[in-house]
Amino acid sequence: MECNSCTVAAIKFEIKLEGETNLSALQIVIDHLERREIEVSVKGNKLQMDEKGAREFLDFCRDLLDMDQVTFRINQESWQPLEGMSRVFATEWIDEVIKNERLTCHYQPIVDADEKIFAYEMLARFQNEDGSMIYPNEIFPAAKTRGRLYALDRVCRMTAVRYAAVLKGENAFINFIPTSIYSPEFCLRSTIALSEQLGVNPKSLVFEVVETEKVDDLDHLKRILAYYKEKGFDYALDDVGEGYSTIEMLADLKPQYMKLDMQFVQDVATDTAKQKIAENFLKKALEVGSVPLAEGIETRQDFDWLKQRGYQLFQGYYFGKPAASPVYEKKIEA
């Protein structure tokens, strides 16, 4: 079995025509595409073609069909209105970013209660062909629109493992998107193989679930985490806050680390509502045997408050911003 979604293969468009107007024009559409030497597969009221064909279809059919009764999908994903097809075309640039691996990793320190480096979170940084930065809020929505989340998540994980190999024994936290992994045995094997090839100790890699609160399929997430555990890796739940509230659920996942969402960390020293959430989170983490980690710390005041309550690990601009190389000492503030 090949993990085709983890590569930047040609997109297959499936287009579904409904309604009397559209069905009566179906043969006209097919004839036009064939005259343009576009290979099209026809199954009832559905057409399947490559991206070149989809562009031609959209251009030819704007005035011919009732566009409100035409839907499409790519790579067997969910059906969506035809108006979304233009957005898929417009995000073609992401294919080159992924194929040419135009990304690096920056290191953001995670420290213990004595402010000594415990680990680094590996944060992907993407570039256009001219070297200018592509921001995460651009690249991940584009990947989702174009059906490239699998491929993007894979190249991010592989790059992070390469960058983790240069660390001096510190742990590396590596993000992954659970919905981008449909089968851990196949989607993650290249990541596992690379870590073995580079001689990276599995216990030094912590795979971090991105947007834990938005995970819908808990059983799927458990299968992924079980696979990581089987291979000797640790894992963390990111962005945990007021949701994800049942101890039973957290105990079932058995995360080695739980990260308190930064929205409950910043100003926690003076905000009583955030203090209550931070204290409840700490209690949960300790009950399920997880290491509590507070992220997004920007002031000494917040750090001291969390440290005094019993938090064990800390991350944020106060200790260091993401940098192109590991920084082993916190800058002394004047």
3-state secondary structure the chain: CCCHHHCCCCCCEEEEECCHHHHHCHHHHHHHHHHCCCCCEEECCEEEECHHHHHHHHHHHCCCCCHHHEEEEECCCCCEEHHHHHHHHHCCHHHHHHHCCCEEEEEEEEEECCCCEEEEEEEEEEECCCCCEECHHHHHHHHHHCCCHHHHHHHHHHHHHHHHCCCCCCEEEEEECHHHCCCHHHHCHHHHHHHHHCCCCHHHEEEEECCHHHCCCHHHHHHHHHHHHHCCCEEEEEEECCCCCCHHHHHHHCCCEEEECHHHCCCCCCCHHHHHHHHHHHHHHHHCCCEEEEECCCCHHHHHHHHHHCCCEEECCCCCCCECCCCCCCCCCC
Percent of the chain with pLDDT over 70: 90
* pLDDT band, very low/low/confident/very high, at 1 (cuts 50, 70, 90): very low
Q: How confident is the model at residue 219 (pLDDT cuts 50, 70, 90)?
A: confident
Chain-centre distance for alpha carbon 291 = 23
Task: Look at residue 56 and tell me whether its pLDDT is greater than 70.
Answer: yes
Helices 26-35/51-61 angle, 10° precision: 130
Report the pLDDT averaged over residues 135-139: 90
- CA dist 206 and 26 (Å) reads 52
Q: Is the pLDDT at 184 greater than 90, yes or no?
A: no
pLDDT per residue as tens digits for the range 271-323: 999 999 999 999 989 988 999 999 999 999 999 999 999 999 999 999 999 99
Chain position carrying tokens 């290191």: 107
- Ranked by mean pLDDT, the top range of 210-214, 252-256, 290-294 is 290-294
Predicted confidence (pLDDT) per residue in 3-29, tens digit: 445 567 889 999 999 999 999 999 999
**Residues 55-65, mean pLDDT to the nearest whole number:** 93
Distance of alpha carbon 94 from alpha carbon 124, whole angstroms? 15
pLDDT exceeds 80 at position 101: yes
Q: In whole angstroms, give the CA distance from residue 314 to residue 86.
A: 43
> Which pLDDT score is estimated for 332?
43
Burial label, 134 (beta-carbon count in 10 A; 0-12, 13-18, 19+): middle
Whether the predicted pLDDT of 99 surpasses 60: yes
Packing angle of the helix pair 149-164, 189-197 (nearest 10 deg): 20
Q: Mean pLDDT over all residues of the chain? A: 89
Q: What is the pLDDT of residues 62-75, one digit of tens each?
A: 889 999 999 999 98
Which span out of 41-55, 123-137, 140-154, 233-247 was modeled with the highest average pLDDT? 41-55
User: What's the pLDDT at 2?
Assistant: 45
- Which tokens in the block code for residue 89? 């075309």
Highest mean pLDDT among 1-5, 107-111, 198-202, 245-249: 107-111
What's the pLDDT score for residue 212?
60
By the 8 A CB rule, do 163 and 107 touch?
yes
Return the minimum-mean-pLDDT range out of 113-117, 152-156, 227-231, 271-275: 227-231
What pLDDT does residue 330 have? Answer: 53
d(Cα 181, Cα 6) in Å, to the nearest integer? 9
Look at 99 and 246; give whichever has higher pLDDT.
Answer: 99
For the segment 209-229, the average pLDDT, to the nearest whole number, is 78
pLDDT above 80 for 248: no
Residues contacting 101, CB < 8 A, separation 6+: 155, 159
